[in-house]
């Protein structure tokens, strides 16, 4: 079942492998026994978040003073993401909580805000979401219509957000809203909206092609009064904060992509060795053998690039351009490998009950969220002076 990059790699130290075992134990004990039910219900149990907190898998980079792991080394989140994919479990919820929201709240908040939110996020008592996308605004955040108007000691929030990961379970939602609409993208601020805030309502649980266990819904804000003390950082600085966080977010998506593709290839290799046609294993036919050899090579190259980007992120040097490169390349590769692996599985791969069919469906959104492939290429093209 394992391929050459599935075990320890040279840049991972013994402490990372110990952490890998912690991740595997958590997934085996707390996730896998319930995952099929979560897939049917479209949401995970809140108890799994508390279990993740007890295992030290939330807020890995957050200061221990607030209950976090105090470990800035991105190799730890990368290990967790990869093990989630090898367990064929749901990734977006944990990734959004750890690699997007916890980072915003650890880096951009005041001491009082950190004390209010971070201990709960690290313990799994509070579940986090980020609300940027809107029905008429996706990859271009400058088009968002949600507004936040200052009124005394509060902001009055009005608008609608969609495709919100953890939206139904979330206790803390980081919302992007325009506080100076006349300034376009330069007039966006980030506000934390807490569960139970009057004017916040949650829409229907969205039925998706894949990632069924990841709760996704719409959020509505109708004269929602958010305390001014819930403003993250400075007013109208939201775009800069989001741009600063995008390299990490996109690297996390790339890490998931490579982990998922590795698992699909390992499963397909095993199938190709045991499934027979015309009296011999299908993997011995040249076309299939060459397909498997090509995918193995492509994934090795992709992992090298991901590892390079992890090194750059840990050094504070990962650029928006390189993050765009690793995001679009690995996610498009994931979709391509899912398609080729399903083809090798043949009719069995098309059955809804098969693991490869589920991974095929899960893979498709990877080239869309976090910035579409087309937007990534646009960013790269601009970096070339075009």
Which secondary structure element, helix H or strand E, spans residue 327, and what is its range? helix 320-345
Per-residue b/e over 38-74, b at no fewer than 16 CB within 10 Å? bbeebbbbeebbbbbbebbbbbbbbeeebbbbebebb
- Tell me if residue 223 falls in helix, strand or coil: strand
Q: What are phi and psi of 291, to 5 degrees?
A: -60, -45
d(CA 116, CA 129): 16
- Rounded to whole angstroms, how far apart are CA atoms 363 and 333? 10
Handedness of CA 265, 166, 131, 108 (dihedral sign): negative
Distance CA 102, CA 253 (A): 16
Structure tokens at 143: 């088009």
Cβ atoms of 328 and 373 within 8 Å: the answer is yes
- Catalytic: 83? no
Tokens of 56: 């030290």
Choosing from 30, 218, 235, 249, the catalytic residue is: 249
The Cα–Cα gap between 131 and 129 comes to: 7
**Helical pair 238-274 and 75-86, crossing angle rounded to 10 deg:** 40
Where in the sequence numbering do the catalytic residues fall? Answer: 249
């Amino acid at each position: 079942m394992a391929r050459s990059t599935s075990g320890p790699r040279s840049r991972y130290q013994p402490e990372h492998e110990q952490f890998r075992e912690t991740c595997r134990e958590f997934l085996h004990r707390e996730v896998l026994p319930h995952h099929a039910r979560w897939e049917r219900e479209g949401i995970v149990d809140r108890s799994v978040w508390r279990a993740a907190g007890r295992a030290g898998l939330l807020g890995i980079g957050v200061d221990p003073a607030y209950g976090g792991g105090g470990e800035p080394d991105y190799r730890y989140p990368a290990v967790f993401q990869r093990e989630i994919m090898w367990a064929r479990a749901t990734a977006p919820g944990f990734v959004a909580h750890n690699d997007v929201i916890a980072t915003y709240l650890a880096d951009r908040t005041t001491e009082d805000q950190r004390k209010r939110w971070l201990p709960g996020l690290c313990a799994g008592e509070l579940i986090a979401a980020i609300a940027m996308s809107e029905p008429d605004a996706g990859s271009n955040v400058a088009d968002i219509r949600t507004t936040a108007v200052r009124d005394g000691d509060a902001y009055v929030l009005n608008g609608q957000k969609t495709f919100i990961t953890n939206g139904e379970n979330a206790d803390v939602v980081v919302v992007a809203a325009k506080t100076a609409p006349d300034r376009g993208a330069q007039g966006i601020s980030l506000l934390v909206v807490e569960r139970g805030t009057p004017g916040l309502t949650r829409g229907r649980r969205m039925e998706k092609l894949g990632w069924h266990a990841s709760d996704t819904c719409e959020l509505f804000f109708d004269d929602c009064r958010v305390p001014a003390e819930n403003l993250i950082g400075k007013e109208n600085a939201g775009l800069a904060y989001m741009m600063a966080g995008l390299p990490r977010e996109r690297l996390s998506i790339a890490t998931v992509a490579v982990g998922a593709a590795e698992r699909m290839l390992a499963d397909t290799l095993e199938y190709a060795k045991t499934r027979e046609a015309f009296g011999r294993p299908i993997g011995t036919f040249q076309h299939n053998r060459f397909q498997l050899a090509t995918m193995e090579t492509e994934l090795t190259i992709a992992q090298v690039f991901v590892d390079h980007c992890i090194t750059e992120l840990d050094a504070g040097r990962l650029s928006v351009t390189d993050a765009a490169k690793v995001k679009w390349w690995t996610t498009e590769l994931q979709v391509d490998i899912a398609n080729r692996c399903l083809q090798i599985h043949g009719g069995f791969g098309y059955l809804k009950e098969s693991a490869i069919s589920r991974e095929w469906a899960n893979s498709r959104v990877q080239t869309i969220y976090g910035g579409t492939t087309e937007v990534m290429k646009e960013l790269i093209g601009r970096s070339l002076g075009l």
